[in-house]
């Protein structure tokens, strides 16, 4: 029997309820963190996003979407997002995303350009991009108006905004060899550069914008003169050969120089617009003042006279030639040349104070010129250089000039002319050539030929007869001189006999001198002779015993 049957049955227990708990797996943390990072990046991008702008360039050289940065003062302020071709295919459009801090760069007058290595007249630029790559440079403007579409510059600007200095405008007839970046010199030191240039509205000139760095801009005053320093200034004058240039760079790329005349106003703010002279001499010359137009009528050819040729009065550069035209005179059936000149009376300087006050009155000018013409004032075309044949106009008082009638009512004012020195020289040369041509050169040549033949015959006779006889005579003379020289030798007989003779003459002269002394002391000795009691023997007696005997007798 099962013993368990007697045991009481256990009471049934309540059913156990199991509650499940939701736990976060670590695997889900990775996408959660990524989502949070992405969200923060989106928020950061939204908070830091700046304006979107487009820049058009001719080519996409140096541009790469997503990589090419935009820099302002070497700080990255944006990135090129896309580079696409324009609809017409004439240029490319680069979309640029600027940072929020650079939103002020998108102004109406801002400029953008691609910075890459460039080789120009002023040197090499953008060398740092060889390693870092090209980037877009920015030059902010001063406008407050925003803009989203820009046209990029093909070359970097010469002057960046904010550079200390001052901009000036110089006006010229043409640009010459100047270009953006051409240097500006003061006392041969580069103090600035050409920033830009453009054609004037009327098309009659060019306006060049230059920038002079501080502190050199204070030397530009209202009296400052600017001139084109491009190339080489070569001149050959009375004081020799001259070669002038600012630097080697100006020979290749051009340049501008400026200076202030001595004695002008002190340095300080002045004008901002100046005239660009062609050279230093023209720029530093005194002000010309108003010009007076005069015409000259020449009957001779003026080959060698060109526009701009100088007009000289009493050695002073008084003006220049401004026009040349051909005319016809029915009376003489000739074609005279009408030369128009402009003269500047103020170049006469203090002389104007002694002349009549004309003040630009054309009637007074005409009457004054009539007086000068009556005194011989004439216009002449003279040669300035015999090598090149260049001519210039000279206004001079010609001595004994023939009188001419002068119409004071004629307009424009006209001065009579006279033949220049070069024309007179040509006439004289032509006259000499004519006289030479009239000479009987053939007859002279025949006579000269006959004379030369006679001279040749005479010379042959001299060589055949006279010269041998002359040679023989000279030989005999040489032998005679040799014999004479032998006789006069120190050991020769003639020399010995001559020495003895000279000794006898010397002794005779000594005896005569003694005799003269004795007669001077004892004149009676000539009659009585010399007394025996004297201590000395008479030299006369000793020398001549017969004379003593005769005196005793």
pLDDT digits (tens, 9 = 90+) for 392-440: 999 999 888 888 888 888 889 889 998 765 556 666 677 788 788 888 8
Tokens encoding 1: 């029997």
For residue 184, what pLDDT is reported?
A: 92
For residue 247, what pLDDT is reported?
A: 58
DSSP state string for 65-110 = TTT-EEEETTEEEEEEEEEEE-TTSSSEEEEEEEEGGGGGG-BTT-
Most confident of 64-78, 241-255, 267-281: 64-78
Lowest mean pLDDT segment, chosen from 78-82, 231-235, 353-357: 231-235
Contact (Cβ atoms closer than 8 angstroms) between residue 168 and residue 212: yes
How is the beta sheet containing 149-151 ordered, strand by strand?
111-115, 135-139, 69-72, 75-85, 92-99, 49-57, 149-151
- Cβ atoms < 10 Å from Cβ of 70: 24
Task: Find where tokens 């360039």 sit.
Answer: 57
- pLDDT single digits (tens) 187-200: 989 999 998 889 99
User: Does 412 sit behind a cis peptide bond, omega within 30 degrees of 0 on the bond before it?
Assistant: yes
Q: What are phi and psi of 501, to 5 degrees?
A: -60, -40
For residue 244, what pLDDT is reported?
A: 62
For residue 57, what pLDDT is reported?
A: 92
pLDDT at 375 over 70: yes
d(CA 27, CA 232): 82
Cα dihedral sign, 543-546-551-552: positive
Contact (Cβ atoms closer than 8 angstroms) between residue 169 and residue 208: yes
d(CA 34, CA 84): 33
d(CA 422, CA 303): 12
For residue 299, what pLDDT is reported?
A: 87
Q: Which of 229, 346, 252, 363 is nearest to 291 (CA)?
A: 346
Contact (Cβ atoms closer than 8 angstroms) between residue 117 and residue 133: no
d(CA 46, CA 93): 24
Q: What are phi and psi of 135, to 5 degrees?
A: -150, 170
- 176-190 burial code (b ≥16 CB/10 A, e <16): bebbbbbbbbbeeeb
Range 103-115 average pLDDT: 86
Task: Find where tokens 């007076």 sit.
Answer: 292
- SS3 label, residue 20: coil
In this predicted model, which residue has the larger pLDDT, 350 or 220? 220
pLDDT band per the 50, 70, 90 thresholds, residue 212: very high
pLDDT band per the 50, 70, 90 thresholds, residue 3: very low
d(CA 545, CA 539): 10
β-pairing, 149-151 with 49-57?
parallel
End-to-end CA, the chain? 248
Long-range contacts (CB closer than 8 Å, 24 or more residues apart) made by 546-551: 551/525, 551/526, 551/527
d(CA 509, CA 498): 16
- Please give the torsion angle defined by the CA atoms of residues 5, 6, 10 and 12, in that order, rounded to the nearest 10 degrees: 50
- pLDDT single digits (tens) 283-326: 888 777 888 899 999 988 888 888 889 999 988 888 999 999 99
d(CA 88, CA 387): 60
Percent of the chain clearing pLDDT 90 (strictly above): 15
For residue 101, what pLDDT is reported?
A: 80
Long-range contacts (CB closer than 8 Å, 24 or more residues apart) made by 114-118: 114/57, 114/61, 114/62, 114/63, 114/152, 115/62, 115/71, 115/156, 116/61, 116/62, 118/155, 118/156
pLDDT band per the 50, 70, 90 thresholds, residue 206: very high
For residue 185, what pLDDT is reported?
A: 92
Percent of the chain clearing pLDDT 70 (strictly above): 77
pLDDT at 498 over 90: no
d(CA 552, CA 526): 10
Lowest mean pLDDT segment, chosen from 35-44, 159-168, 387-396: 35-44
H helix or E strand, kind and range, residue 535: none
- pLDDT single digits (tens) 114-172: 888 776 555 566 666 667 778 898 988 778 888 888 988 888 887 888 789 999 999 99
pLDDT at 441 over 60: yes
For residue 514, what pLDDT is reported?
A: 83
d(CA 77, CA 97): 9
Mean pLDDT of the chain: 79
Tell me whether residue 267 is exposed, middle or buried, using C-beta atoms within 10 angstroms of its C-beta: 0 to 12, 13 to 18, 19 or more.
middle
- pLDDT single digits (tens) 61-92: 888 888 889 988 888 888 999 999 988 888 89
For residue 494, what pLDDT is reported?
A: 67
pLDDT at 503 over 90: no
Range 522-528 average pLDDT: 72
- Please give the torsion angle defined by the CA atoms of residues 26, 27, 32 and 38, in that order, rounded to the nearest 10 degrees: 130
């Amino acid at each position: 029997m099962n013993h368990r049957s007697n045991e009481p049955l256990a009471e049934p227990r309540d059913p156990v309820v199991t509650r499940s708990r939701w736990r976060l797996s670590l695997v889900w943390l990775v996408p959660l963190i990524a989502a949070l990072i992405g969200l923060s990046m989106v928020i950061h991008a939204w908070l830091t996003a700046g304006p979107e702008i487009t820049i058009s360039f001719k080519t996409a050289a140096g541009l790469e979407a997503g990589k090419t940065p935009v820099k302002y003062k070497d700080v990255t302020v944006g990135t090129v997002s896309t580079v696409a071709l324009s609809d017409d295919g004439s240029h490319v459009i680069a979309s640029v995303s600027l940072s929020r801090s650079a939103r002020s760069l998108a102004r109406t007058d801002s400029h953008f350009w691609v910075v890459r290595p460039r080789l120009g007249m002023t040197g090499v630029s953008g060398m740092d991009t060889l390693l870092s790559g090209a980037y877009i440079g920015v030059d902010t403007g001063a406008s407050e108006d925003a803009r989203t579409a820009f046209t990029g510059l093909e070359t970097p600007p010469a002057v960046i905004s904010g550079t200390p200095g001052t901009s000036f405008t110089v006006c010229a007839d043409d640009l010459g060899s100047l270009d953006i970046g051409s240097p500006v010199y003061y006392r041969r030191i580069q103090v600035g550069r050409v920033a830009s240039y453009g054609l004037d509205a009327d098309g009659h000139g060019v306006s060049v914008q230059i920038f002079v760095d501080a502190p050199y801009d204070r030397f530009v005053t209202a009296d400052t003169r600017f001139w084109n320093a491009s190339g080489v200034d070569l001149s050959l004058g009375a004081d020799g050969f001259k070669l002038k240039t600012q630097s080697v760079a100006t020979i290749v790329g051009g340049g501008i120089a400026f200076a202030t005349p001595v004695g002008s106003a002190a340095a300080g703010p002045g004008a901002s617009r100046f005239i660009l002279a062609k050279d230093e001499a023209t720029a530093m010359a005194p002000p010309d003042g108003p010009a007076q137009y005069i015409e000259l009528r020449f009957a001779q050819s003026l080959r060698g006279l060109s526009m701009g040729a100088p007009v000289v009065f009493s050695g002073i550069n008084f003006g220049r030639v401004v026009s040349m035209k051909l005319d016809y005179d029915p009376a003489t059936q000739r074609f005279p040349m009408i030369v128009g000149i402009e003269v500047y009376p103020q170049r006469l300087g203090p002389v104007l104070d002694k002349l009549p006050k004309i003040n630009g009155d054309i009637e007074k000018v005409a009457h004054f010129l009539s007086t000068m013409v009556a005194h011989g004032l004439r216009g002449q075309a003279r040669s300035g250089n015999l090598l090149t044949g260049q001519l210039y106009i000279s206004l001079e008082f010609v001595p004994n000039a023939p009188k001419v009638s002068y119409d004071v009512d004629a307009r424009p004012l006209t001065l009579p002319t006279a033949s220049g020195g070069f024309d007179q020289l040509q006439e004289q040369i032509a006259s000499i050539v004519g006289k030479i041509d009239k000479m009987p050169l053939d007859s002279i040549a025949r006579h000269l030929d006959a004379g030369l033949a006679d001279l040749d015959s005479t010379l042959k006779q001299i060589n055949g007869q006279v010269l041998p006889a002359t040679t023989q005579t000279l030989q005999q003379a040489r032998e005679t001189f040799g014999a004479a020289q032998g006789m006069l030798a120190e050991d020769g007989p003639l020399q010995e006999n001559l020495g003895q003779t000279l000794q006898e003459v010397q002794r005779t002269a000594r005896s005569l001198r003694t005799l003269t002394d004795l007669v001077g002391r004892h004149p009676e000795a000539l009659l009585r002779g010399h007394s025996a009691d004297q201590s000395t023997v008479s030299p006369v007696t000793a020398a001549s015993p017969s004379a003593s005997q005769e005196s005793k007798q």
